[in-house]
Amino acid sequence: MWDTRGVMERVSRAIGPLATNVHLVADPRTREAIAIDAAIPGLAWITGELRERGWRLVLIVSTHGHWDHAGENGALQAWSAAEAERLTGYADAAAVDVGVAAVDLRSRASTGAAAVSAGAPIAAHPADWHMLSDPKPLYAPFPIPPCVPAVELAEGGVVRFGDVRLTIIHTPGHTEGSVCLLAADEGILFSGDTLFAGGWGRTDLPGGSADAMVESIARLARLDDRLRVLPGHGRETTIARERPWLELVARERRLLL
Q: How confident is the model at residue 118 (pLDDT cuts 50, 70, 90)?
A: confident
pLDDT at 252 over 50: yes
Looking at residue 48, its pLDDT comes to: 98
Q: How confident is the model at residue 257 (pLDDT cuts 50, 70, 90)?
A: confident
The arithmetic mean of pLDDT across residues 217-245, rounded, is 98
pTM: 0.90
Taking only the tens place, the pLDDT of each residue in 66-106 is 999 999 999 999 999 999 888 776 555 555 655 432 333 33
The arithmetic mean of pLDDT across residues 225-245, rounded, is 98
SS3 249: helix
pLDDT at 25 over 90: yes
Query: How far apart are the C-alpha atoms of 176 and 209, rounded to whole Å?
Result: 8
Query: How far apart are the C-alpha atoms of 144 and 137, rounded to whole Å?
Result: 7
Higher pLDDT, 246 or 111: 246
The arithmetic mean of pLDDT across residues 138-163, rounded, is 96
- Which neighbouring-strand residues pair with 192? 231
Q: 217 CB contacts (<8 Å, ≥6 apart)?
A: 173, 194, 195, 200, 246, 249, 250, 255
Average pLDDT over the chain reads 90
Higher pLDDT, 98 or 238: 238
Tell me the backbone φ, ψ of residue 104, rounded to 5 degrees. -80, 95
- Let me know if 45 is exposed, middle or buried by CB neighbors in 10 A (0-12, 13-18, 19+): middle
Looking at residue 174, its pLDDT comes to: 98
pLDDT at 196 over 70: yes
Taking only the tens place, the pLDDT of each residue in 161-178 is 999 999 999 999 999 999
Looking at residue 86, its pLDDT comes to: 83
- Which neighbouring-strand residues pair with 165? 160
Looking at residue 4, its pLDDT comes to: 53
Looking at residue 3, its pLDDT comes to: 61
Task: Count the neighbouring beta carbons within 10 Å of the beta carbon of residue 204.
Answer: 7
- Does the domain at 2-252 match CATH 3.40.190.10? Answer given as no
- Where along the chain do its domains lie? 2-252
